[in-house]
Amino acid sequence: MFLTAFDLPKAVYIATAGAIGLLVDSTRIITYFTGGATLPKELWYGLLLFIPISFVGAQIAKRIVDKIPQNQFRIVVAVFLLLIGAKLILFP
C-alpha cells in the first residue's frame, strides 16, 4: 500500500514489492527457526512443492501485468487493494 503513493513504473513497483516481501519473509523465517519453531513433516513437503509453484505463478502474473497499460496499472492496483481491504473487514 505504501508503494502506491509513488508513481512508479510497473516493473519497478513489482520488483520493489517483491524485494520487500522477500526481506520481510526471510527475516520472519529466520526468527521462527532460531526461536525453536518446527514444522511437521507434511508441511515440509508442501513447502518444497509450493516454492517452485510460486515462481510459475510469478511468470503468469508477469504476462498479465505486461498486458495492462502503465496508465491503468495504478487503478488495477488500487482496485485489488480495495478488494483485499473489503475482504479483511467483512471476513476477518
The pLDDT, as a whole number, for residue 1 is 61
Q: How far apart are CA 87 and CA 39, in angstroms?
A: 29
Q: What is the mean pLDDT of residues 5-25?
A: 89
Average pLDDT value over all residues in the chain = 90
Q: How far apart are CA 44 and CA 72, in angstroms?
A: 39
| Per-residue model confidence as pLDDT tens digits over 52-72 | 999 999 999 999 999 999 989
Asked if 7 and 73 touch (Cβ cutoff 8 Å), the reply is no
Asked if 81 and 4 touch (Cβ cutoff 8 Å), the reply is yes
- If phi > 0 it is left, if psi is from -120 to 50 it is alpha, else beta; for residue 40 that is beta
80 backbone dihedrals φ, ψ, rounded to 5°: -65, -40
Q: How far apart are CA 91 and CA 21, in angstroms?
A: 24
The pLDDT, as a whole number, for residue 53 is 94
